[in-house]
Each structure stands twice: as C-alpha cells, then as structure tokens.
Amino acid sequence: MELPFEIGPQFEGERIRKDDMYIELGGPKVKAKAELAKLRKADEIEDGRVEVKGLDIGEMEEGGRYPFGIFVEVAGEKLEEDMEGVVERRIHEYCNFIEGFMHLNQRYDIWCRLSKEAHAKGFNLKYMGQALIKLFKSELPIIEKMQVTFITDEKEVVEFVGNAKKTYEARDARARALSEEEVDEFYACLMCQSFAPTHVCIITPERMSLCGSISWLEGRAATRADPKGTNFPVQKGELLDAIKGEYAGVNEVVAERSDGETERCYLHSMFGYPHTSCGCFESLAFYIPEVDGIGVVHREYPGDTPIGVPFSRLAAQTGGGRQGEGILGMAIEYMRSRKFLQADGGWDRIVWLPKSAKEMVGDAIPEELRERIAMEDDATDIDSLKAFLEKKAHPVVQRWGFEVTEELKNKLIAYIEKREGEIYPEEAAKELGISEDQVMKVIDGLREDGILE
Ligand code: SF4
C-alpha cells in the first residue's frame, strides 16, 4: 500500500500546534482514550490487518476532538509476556515517526493530533495502521505478525479503556515483587531524548519509569529483544547512599548519556541530585516550603494545587531533561514503591494529593496517614492546607520549629557508632525519641558539618 505521507525518525519531536491541527484524538478534553499492546499466538493474528471501529479521519469534523483507542496485537516465537509493555511504549515512538501526526503521553492518557497538511494529503487511520506495522516489524524483527485496531466509537473506547486498565494493573503487580537489592543491574531508557536530550530514565524494580510504562521486568525484556534499541542495562556499581538511592554505576551512565549535564542521580529523593524529568511523567511531586511538605499532582487532575497553579504550570517548570530540585516527574506506580521518596520522608512528608490520585494508590498509603493527607476539598490554598495539617496532626507539623541541636547530633553519632556505621531510620527514631523524618534532618545536619558523607 502506498502511503500518502512519509515515515521516519526525522519527524520525531514534530509538534502540531492548535492552529495547524485538523483533529485531536484523546487528549485532556476527551475522557475515553487508551493504548494497549497484547501478545497473541500466531494463529490468532491476521498479519497486516488494520481495523477501524468507529469513524475514520475522513468522517470526522475539522477541529473536533474524539475518543481514541489504539490496540496493537503481536505474535512472534521469541516474544515474551514482559515485552507487551515495551511494544506498547513503542507506539508513542513510531506514531511520532509519521509525518503530520503527533502522539503524547501513554497508556490511558494518550493525546494525539493530526495536522491539516496531513489530512489534505489523504491521511486516514487505515494508512496509519499500515505505517505502524511497517515500523514495528522493521525496528523489532522479533515481531513476526501484527494487527492493529483503532477505536473511535465512544462506547467501544470506554470498554477498551476498562480492559486496558486491568492489563496495566496486572503488569505492574508482577513487577512489584522484586527489590533493588536482589538484582545486579537496572535498565535505562533514552526514548525521550528526541525532545529531552539530556534525559536518562533509570528503571529499577522499585522505581518504575516516570512515564509509568516500563517496569524493570519490561526494561529487561526490551534489552534482550532489541539490544541496539533505546533500553540498555546499567550495572549498579557501588552503593553510595542506601537511603537516597545513589549508585556509582548509575551516576556513570547518567553522566555519559546526558553529555555530562547530569553528574549524579538520587533515585529516591527530590532534593540534591534528583532523577531528571522529560515531559511524559504521569505525576509530579512538588515541594511546598510553607509547610515543609510535598504535594503530588497527576496529569489527569485539571484543577489548581494548593500553591495556586495546575499540573501544566508545574510541568513547565521541570521537564526537558532537567534535574529540578524540589520538583520531580514520576510514575503513579512509584507511589507504591517501598522506597517512595524515602530520603525525603516518604509518605510522612506527603501533605496534598488530588482525590482521584488518592483513590488510585490509597492502599499504598500507610493507614495512619490516609486521613491526614489533604485533598482538593480539604485545602485550596496554603492557609487552609496549614490549618488542615495542624488539625489532623500530620507528621510534617513536627518539623515546624524543629531544631537540629548539638545534643541530637551527638545522640545520632553515638547510635551510628553502636550500629558500626549503619543507620536504620525507624530504629534510630525510636532511640532518639523523634520521628524518622526528624532523623533525616539530623543526618542532613551531620552532612553539612562534614561528619557524614
Ligand atoms: S519516560 Fe523514560 S522510560 Fe518512558 S519512554 Fe521516556 S525515557 Fe523511556
């Protein structure tokens, strides 16, 4: 089939502005949208088949916004189940190889635009499916058979989204069983360097990629399937800081692949040398100095945060591969990690979260904190947030006015000596009669004094 548009990596990074857009598929103003890849048996696939359920581009109105589902089914002898997430993430990459088509975000949050120019050339979803099949099979030769279904009928997209969400959850749950300590290597992803040239994603069993699409298992599968692709293994090297999650091997890779722009990377802290942010993060953690706490907001939440700005304004402050201290792009799944921002106090430090995000990760929030974290109905600005936290005796309240005294420093030094150089924050907190969070403050004080590294 001859395509009425060109395809290739030269179109990656092409942005389609509102004035140049013919139609929008998915996006923030459309509720039902998702993409999904599934592994099938060879006899379940009709190789090369492209189906459109609902309207194709020619039947859509200029300037319209439509529900959108992209369903990719693949078969291949060497494909393993963990490859599903990787194939799915490549939908983003290969859609952006298509002239006049823009694809942003991932999973249940895709946002696509078609340019007026591409429409004038005769673009339709049937052609687009053919282009995707061609790209997938040439870039990932382990895919032997592939079919694509586009869904634009609203009812069908809603059903598709429900099924896709069950698949994402099952995939994420599989990856939760592992820890950073029990693996020898992590994985990196450079896919977003097309628009964030210094961004290097480090994926560990306890830190899902910030787009929320690639777990450690999927990073490993991608590396095996496509050794020359955008994913590759990262040897952990020496553990430099167990609490912040700093590894010599990670620092080396990050420095090399960011062209020296990022020299160090803390996997579990948003201060000092946090992980870089690209632009496809599912959520953002942001420091709120007035309460010395951390707020979290996700892409799907349209309202303002208590600091008076929405997700989009915060996102503009980071991204592009920057290492933004106090503002961090992350996967929603990372909030389920045992190491979630552990160097900054973890859940004890989270003070605000939209209700919809709280519903998504509610079971990962320690029970005693669930009612103490404010949502949009509890706090709309800094004053109401402060009042809520005080009323609920949120752990951050202890930080207000907390002073790192010489006495506390000496007590912690005595504890460290007794533990032969090790620090177990929970145990140290009990011994010093302060919270874990305050232990971290005392550690920071000892670091500033040059007593701890
Ligand atoms: S956010 Fe990270 S893992 Fe996801 S595509 Fe971009 S670089 Fe890869």
SS3 per-residue string spanning the chain: CCCCCCECHHHCCCCCCHHHEEEEEECCCCCCEEEEEEECCHHHCCCCCEEEECCCHHHCCCCCEECEEEEEEEECCCCCCCHHHHHHHHHHHHHCCECCEEEECCHHHCEEEEEHHHHHCCCCHHHHHHHHHHHHHHHCCCCCEEEEEEECCHHHHHHHHHHHHHHHHHHHHHHCCCCCCCCCEEEEECHHHHCCCCCCEEEECCECCCCCCCCHHHHHHHHHHCCCCCEEEEECCCEEECCCCEEHHHHHHHHHHCCCCCCCCECCCCCCCECCECCCCCEEEEEECCCCEEEEEECCCCCECCCCCEHHHHHHHCCCCECCCCEEEECHHHHHCCCCCHHHCHHHHEEECCHHHHHHHHHHCCHHHCCCCECCCCCCCHHHHHHHHHHCCCHHHHHCCCCCCHHHHHHHHHHHHHCCCCCCHHHHHHHHCCCHHHHHHHHHHHHHCCCCC
pLDDT at residue 339 in the model: 97
Q: Hey, what are 172's tokens? A: 């994420």
pLDDT tens per residue, range 367-382: 999 999 999 999 999 9
pLDDT tens per residue, range 88-116: 999 999 999 999 999 999 999 999 999 99
pLDDT tens per residue, range 169-207: 999 888 888 999 999 999 999 999 988 999 999 999 999
- Kindly give the distance from the C-alpha atom of residue 203 to the centroid of ligand 1, in angstroms, as a whole number: 9
Residue reference for tokens 């005392």: 442
pLDDT at residue 436 in the model: 78
pLDDT tens per residue, range 225-263: 888 889 999 999 999 999 999 999 999 999 999 999 999
Give the residue, 62 or 80, on which the prediction is more confident.
62
Ligand 1 atom closest to the CA of 93, numbered from 1:
5
> Is this structure's pTM higher than 0.75?
yes
Query: Pocket of ligand 1, candidates 88, 201, 232, 281: which has the most ligand atoms within 8 Å of its Cβ, to mutate?
Result: 201
pLDDT tens per residue, range 123-155: 999 999 999 999 999 999 999 999 999 999 999
pLDDT at residue 320 in the model: 84
pLDDT at residue 430 in the model: 84
Please check whether residue 223 is in contact with residue 346, taking contact to mean a CB–CB distance below 8 angstroms: no
Q: Which of 68, 85, 69, 80 is nearest to 169 (CA)?
A: 85
- Using the predicted structure, report yes or no on whether residue 1 has a pLDDT greater than 80: no
Mean pLDDT of the chain: 94
pLDDT at residue 354 in the model: 97
- Kindly give the distance from the C-alpha atom of residue 322 to the centroid of ligand 1, in angstroms, as a whole number: 14
Contacts 24+ apart (CB under 8 A), 301-306: 301/354, 301/356, 301/357, 301/376, 302/28, 303/354, 303/376, 304/380, 305/352, 306/352, 306/374, 306/379, 306/380, 306/381, 306/382, 306/384, 306/385
Residue identifier of the C-alpha nearest atom 2 of ligand 1: 201
Per-residue confidence at 31, pLDDT binned at 50, 70, 90? very high
Rounded mean pLDDT of 307-312? 95
- Using the predicted structure, report yes or no on whether residue 437 has a pLDDT greater than 80: no
pLDDT at residue 205 in the model: 96
Residue identifier of the C-alpha nearest atom 6 of ligand 1: 192
Q: What residues line ligand 1, using a CB cutoff of 6 Å?
A: 89, 189, 191-192, 201, 209-211, 213-214, 278, 280
Ligand 1 atom closest to the CA of 209, numbered from 1:
3
Per-residue confidence at 62, pLDDT binned at 50, 70, 90? very high
Cα–Cα dist 177/417, whole Å: 33
CA 208, 212, 218, 219 dihedral sign is: negative
